[in-house]
Amino acid sequence: MEITNVNEFEAIAKQKLPKMVFDYYASGAEDQWTLGENRNAFSRILFRPRILIDVTKIDVSATILGYKISMPIMLAPTAMQKMAHPEGEYATARAASSANTIMTLSSWATSSVEKVASTGPGIRFFQLYVYKDRNVVAQLVRRAERAGFKAIALTVDTPRLGRRESDIKNRFTLPAHLTLKNFEGLDLGKMDETNDSGLASYVAGQIDRSLSWKDVKWLQTITTMPILVKGVVTAEDTRLAIQAGAAGIIVSNHGARQLDYTPATASCLEEVVKAAQGRVPVFLDGGVRRGTDVFKALALGAAGVFVGRPVVFSLAADGEAGVKKMLQMLRDEFELTMALSGCTFLNEITRNHIITEGDVQRQASKL
């Protein structure tokens, strides 16, 4: 069967993967309202295409934290990728590298930072969870830096794990043959069997609930890598993140896996962009499945987007080739969207190229 869009990888992954694994990747928190809304919010943003512009040559390349990449589409951190495919994070790293874009490696990867780095060249970021034991954190950050990772994506929306009911029903735990490789030597690489979600128990035992802005400052004392704060959805926290020295912000609701009934990231993006006032780049993750979504995010002021679930679903479907194909599809769709909107460079994508529900309401109230 010919795959024609990114959404189609999900059904293939569902066929191929054990139920516990697919449900872990696919589900959101509680009622999963935000899970649907992350997608639906994009569908409510419409285009104002400009015509009769020469679109013979289109340049979709982007510069992110000073690194030139092929497109403003990057790979979000997704945990435990060897559950999806035996090659796991290695396949993903190679696919990202061949697409000339940035991969973010999860703290909870089933492959170590060193092994992922050894897959070959590539610009890679490291996603960090802050453990109660700060020596563990310092050691991990040093290892990522030594392995050539270029930035830290600090996840700040997970003092406790969100309630993911399928994980409770399935008694989710990391399959016995796998470990969280970055913690293997610290005896934190395995998850206990529990009568609910093994991951929720692991987080409750290990992740620091006291994490605060002072820790963002502390991280800067132990690394020269820039720190992206991942999980910001309000203007207030945007300003605090910049005050705390963040080099960038990732507007994220953790793929709708933490607090349900948070607005879609596409709905929070403009508030964050306005509060940032151009001082740091703002990125978005959550619900990106089409090149049109990428264009809409950039029109709202994002410097780039990260994709999460499409990575694990395409990895499950066809390993490295699957992830490559998924990234190529998004790139091709994005380039077509630019052409049909009358844009040849990213900096030509403006707020005037889209119309949001808020715009419609403001126009109506003026009338």
Q: Is 286 annotated as a binding residue?
A: yes
Cα–Cα distance, 153 to 137 (Å, whole number)? 13
What backbone torsions phi and psi does residue 155 show, to the nearest 5 degrees?
Answer: -80, 120
Q: Is 129 annotated as a binding residue?
A: yes
Q: Is 77 annotated as a binding residue?
A: yes
Q: Is 90 annotated as a binding residue?
A: no
Cα–Cα distance, 122 to 103 (Å, whole number)? 8
Cα–Cα distance, 70 to 328 (Å, whole number)? 11
Contact criterion met (CB below 8 Å) for 144 and 116: no
* List of residues 6+ apart from 167 with CB closer than 8 A: 23, 24, 27, 196, 197, 199, 200
Q: Is 146 annotated as a binding residue?
A: no
> Is 353 among the catalytic positions?
no
State the distance between the two ends of the chain, measured CA to CA, in whole angstroms.
51
Contact criterion met (CB below 8 Å) for 88 and 55: no
Q: Buried b vs exposed e over 92-115: b needs ≥16 C-beta within 10 Å?
A: bbbbbbbbebbbbbbbbbbbbbeb
Given 85, 177, 254, 353, the catalytic residue: 254
Q: Is 94 annotated as a binding residue?
A: no
Q: Is 304 annotated as a binding residue?
A: no
76: DSSP letter: P
Q: Is 112 annotated as a binding residue?
A: no
Q: Is 285 annotated as a binding residue?
A: yes
Q: Is 164 annotated as a binding residue?
A: yes
Q: Is 328 annotated as a binding residue?
A: no
Structure tokens, 113? 């930072």
Q: Is 342 annotated as a binding residue?
A: no
Q: Is 163 annotated as a binding residue?
A: no
Q: Is 289 annotated as a binding residue?
A: yes
CB atoms within 10 A of CB 186: 14
Instruction: Give start and end residues of each alpha helix (H) in the chain.
Output: 8-16, 19-26, 33-43, 88-98, 113-117, 134-146, 165-169, 198-206, 213-222, 235-243, 265-276, 291-299, 309-341, 357-366
Q: Which residues are known binding-site members for FMN? A: 77-79, 106, 127, 155, 230, 252, 285-289, 308-309
- State the binding site: 24, 77-79, 106, 127, 129, 155, 164, 230, 252, 254, 257, 285-289, 308-309
Q: Which residues are catalytic?
A: 254
Annotated binding site for glyoxylate: 24, 129, 164, 254, 257
